[in-house]
Chain A
Amino acid sequence: MVEELNVVIVGVGGQGQLFLSRLIAEVFARRGIGSLVAETHGMSQRGGSVIVHVRVGRRVKAPLIPIGGAHVMLGMELIESTRYLDYLRVGGVALVNEKMIRPAGQVVRLNEGELVNYILSRTPHLVLLSSSREATKLGVPVSANVHMFGAFAELVELAGLLEGVDDVVPSLLPRRQLELNLRLYRMGREELRGKLSREQVEGIKKVLVGGD
């Protein structure tokens, strides 16, 4: 039974954060575990900064994750991952798509490296993912979220919070381009597995199931 698992999904409006959040809530629901997903609609969806709160587990009643309360951040973009990093608890797990989208109409002097360094200064459990790159390579750039979902599925299975995600995923993905999406899902899983040392896995388990 999951007591409380808080996941913030952040990025730029249009990257598919809502679909990603629904996938997460549904895989837990299929195992009888309830969740609340506070979505972002309306104005902010138009290319603005987006945060979605996913709260899974028996103890959860309120829709919003408090600052410092997220066990996991799924960052679909680097600037937004940095902006919302204070939602992540100390030592929490940040799975971040290594893509930076500059806001339109502004000259922005920032590089990926300094953002990554800042995230690393707050948590050792940062994994950079190539979700956008892989999705673009396969010709479905909007499916970067499915790649990230694969990484998330691997994470929660490693931590022992869920099992058998593979079995339910085909029924949750859109029928159009199902094969490509399944491939991205598996690639996401593999990429995360390949990037975590045994030590990191142990550390991450403590964060995700260590209570409180």
Chain B
Amino acid sequence: MSLRRTLGLSEGQALLLGNEAIARGALEAGIGVAAAYPGTPSSEIIGSLAEVADEVGIYVEWSTNEKVAFELCWAAALSGVRALTAMKHVGLNVAADALMSSAYTGVNEGFVVVSADDPSMWSSQNEQDNRLYGLISYVPVFEPENPGEAKELTKFLFDFSSEFKHPVILRSTTRISHTRGPVALGPIPRPKVSGSFRPEPRYSLVPSNARVSRVEVLRKWREVSRRVNSIGFNKLYGDGRVLVVAPGLSHAYVSEALARLGLEDRVRILKISSVYPIPEELVLKAVDGVDLVVVVEELEPFVELQVRALLQREGVPVRVVGRNLEERNYELTLERVVNLLSRALGVEPRGVTPTSSTSGRPNLPARPPVLCPGCPYRPLAFELRRVLNQERIPAVIAGDIGCYSLIHYPPYRLQDTIVEMGGSLGLANGFSTVLRDHIIVSTAGDSTFFHACLPALVNAVYNNHPQIVLVLDNGTTAMTGHQPSPTTRINGRYVAPEEVARGIGVEFVAVVDPYDIAKVRETFLAAVRYVRERGRPAVIVIRRKCALVALRDMREAGEEVVPYEVDLARCIGCAICYSWFACPAITYREDKKAYIDPELCVGCGACVPVCPVKAIKPSKPVDQGRLARYWF
């Protein structure tokens, strides 16, 4: 069931994704405004709210980056309108400046910041534990155990935030956000969408005001610390000489692991949802009469350190164990929790398979994610790799984050660095400073370009950094599920990257269709000459729509997809199309000649100019010129 389909319901249960549950909680709390920049695993929170915005009568937007989204929601909450912003863990780094100040200004109505962390890095560049943001910002952090609790907690946090006039962080993880589970539904009140604003000194953080706020934040913190002892989401139950402390999702693993070990009646369990600050009085009550405290948590020992500090401060002489340094990486599993508990409690691990056995298994090829059939980045990557090789151009390619991160992989090997959003143009400024005999190329998708690349481009122009910027404009934020970017044309709204580049002062600006690989080559070589001779940046906008979008539009318009095929009389088995162009739809026959799988081919025709002997043709006549309207 989707969030939209639950709108008419004010009771009963629905199976919702954790992210939809968070969105539902926000609706039940009466939010008026929500904004975000997409990022796995957070995207469906705002995505599902955007789907129902008109129906519910709230304002929802996809903003250009996390900081912009945060600030929009912050202003709403300052003006008395409940607001939610959501981002992936690394997105909060982009919004961190705003987060710090938001604790100083406080808010006037509930403001919930959702941070969706990604243990195991399923779709991320690092595994940072954003609970630690609470520590530096004095913004309380809460964690749910499952989708059902995520909804209840979200709703509660709006009241909590309103009560203390303070922002809060709801920390989710991939296994909450992307797990579907039963969620109890409650009524959705009429939202309050317009506010009022009365200026107060705390909103303007000049030093004299900030000093007052700093003291106020600490006073509030004392109150918050007291209050979290009495919230129902923290629970102490069971009895025994051992206390297991289980924050958020780890409580789910702990309950199952204890059942498998047959120990559920022999330990005391403290489930914690307020992970910062921890409920100190409750923890002290929980450790009374126990010999050992075991803290089971994912990633960093965040609750563990707070528990240790508390016990030391209060002079409670009880042993505390957590995970070893080498065990902090990657997400929790039942096996890991069973092993941790059995080690701490001195019992044999039971109820899980000790090790995975794959003996005798045939060697399997890895299957990294790939560019889709029809992807406009494929012919670009193919031709770029070819021209760099053939012309022996010593290049360093600073990549960025999006579908095009995949051209890091063979056969293209076209991203030498991929570090963080906007890191392409930024690192390229540095490479061009110290690698004088190289051509420095940076790649950024349209959404990424507007997200965090613009300051670096201004810098490249002003400080004369010779880099070739490839803006991969597919008209959408593709990797995260096609959220609009400023290049997505909606009701006349549109921002053209090439006009922005010209406005900033870039002299060499070109726009190229990546399917036209001859033109790609010619333009790239012209840019190489330009940056070499002039020592200034060049921008090439590579423009063609995401194939998934174009194909969806074609399908909706009733256009027929005509698959391409290989003329076996012409094919010489050179392998260029299946080994170097590497479209998933093109594979090979026993005799090394190419074969196009009609099930996978999307009829884009991008492979036609790749073939040196013109052996690829449509299986029946097709007018690509007429279909171009779907691709641009």
Contact = CB atoms under 8 A, between A and B. Distances in A.
B15 A46 contact: no
B15 A25 contact: yes
A41 B358 CA distance: 26
A80 interface: yes
B364 interface: yes
Contacts of B599: 136, 141
B505 interface: no
Tell me which of B335, B361, B371 has the highest count of chain A C-beta atoms within 10 A of its own C-beta: B361
A86 B367 contact: no
Contacts of A22: 15, 180
A29 B180 CA distance: 12
A67 B360 contact: no
Interface string A112-133: 0011001001000000000000
Interface string A47-62: 1110000000001111
Interface stretch (B130-138, B251-259, B442-450): B251-259
A106 B259 CA distance: 45
Contacts of A12: 367
Interface residues of A, number: 55
A48 B368 contact: yes
Interface string A21-41: 110011001000011111111
B352 A67 contact: yes
A121 B371 CA distance: 35
Contacts of A66: 333-335, 352-353
A141 B563 CA distance: 14
B529 to A, nearest CB: 31
B539 to A, nearest CB: 27
Interface string B333-353: 111000000000000000011
Nearest to A135: B599
A20 to B, nearest CB: 12
Interface in B354-407: 355-358, 360-372, 403, 405-406
Q: Chain A CB within 10 Å — which of B180, B371, B587 has the most?
A: B180
Nearest to A102: B587
A22 B357 CA distance: 30
Residue of A26, A64, A69, A114 contacting most chain B CB atoms (<10 Å): A64
A13 B370 CA distance: 10
A82 B369 contact: no
Given A69-B353, A136-B599, A26 B15 contact: yes
A49 B365 contact: no
B120 to A, nearest CB: 10
Contacts of B414: none
Interface string B151-192: 000000000000000000000000100111110000000000
Contacts of B182: 29, 34-35
A1 interface: no
A201 to B, nearest CB: 26
Interface string A125-151: 000000000001000010000000000
A36 B362 contact: no
Nearest to B121: A43
A46 B367 contact: no
B245 to A, nearest CB: 17
A61 B252 contact: yes
Contacts of B480: 42
Interface in A137-183: 141
Nearest to A45: B369
Contacts of B335: 66-67
A114 B123 CA distance: 32
Contacts of A46: 369-372, 403, 406, 479
B180 A108 contact: no
Interface string B235-265: 0000000000000010011011001000000
Interface in B117-144: 122-123
A103 B367 contact: yes
A25 to B, nearest CB: 5
Contact of B175 (A43, A63, A69, A83): A63
B411 interface: yes
A44 B122 CA distance: 8
A79 B367 contact: yes
Contacts of B355: 67
Nearest to B253: A62
B301 interface: no
Given A42-B41, A42-B122, A61-B255, A86 B411 contact: no
A107 B588 contact: yes
Nearest to A25: B15
A108 B362 contact: no
A13 B599 CA distance: 15
A92 B387 CA distance: 52
Nearest to B14: A29
B295 interface: no
Contact of A40 (B178, B353, B481): B178
A106 B479 CA distance: 23
B243 to A, nearest CB: 19
Contact of A37 (B181, B253, B357): B181
B17 interface: yes
A131 B64 CA distance: 43
A41 B123 CA distance: 8
A148 B358 CA distance: 26
Contacts of A86: 356-358
A25 B195 CA distance: 41
A36 B178 contact: no
Contact of B179 (A36, A106, A118): A36
A130 to B, nearest CB: 14
B250 to A, nearest CB: 9
A85 B361 CA distance: 10
Q: Which of A80, A104, A108, A141: most chain B CB closer than 10 A?
A: A104
Nearest to B411: A105
B584 A48 contact: no
Given A63-B252, A105-B410, A105-B411, A47 B178 contact: no
Contacts of B583: 104
B367 A80 contact: yes
A104 B584 contact: yes
B361 A82 contact: yes
A85 to B, nearest CB: 8
Interface in B581-617: 582-584, 586-588, 599
User: Which 5 residue pairs of A and B lie closest in terms of their CB atoms, listed nearest first?
Assistant: A68-B353, A42-B123, A105-B582, A42-B40, A48-B369
7 contacts: A14-B372, A42-B123, A43-B123, A43-B405, A47-B370, A79-B365, A115-B362
Given A38-B175, A63-B146, 11 more contacts: A25-B15, A41-B40, A41-B178, A43-B479, A46-B406, A60-B256, A63-B179, A63-B252, A69-B334, A110-B363, A114-B362
Interface of A: 12-14, 21-22, 25-26, 29, 34-49, 59-69, 79-80, 82-83, 85-86, 102-108, 110, 114-115, 118, 121, 136, 141
Interface of B: 1, 13, 15, 17, 40-41, 43, 122-123, 146, 175, 178-182, 249, 252-253, 255-256, 259, 331, 333-335, 352-353, 355-358, 360-372, 403, 405-406, 410-411, 479-481, 578-580, 582-584, 586-588, 599
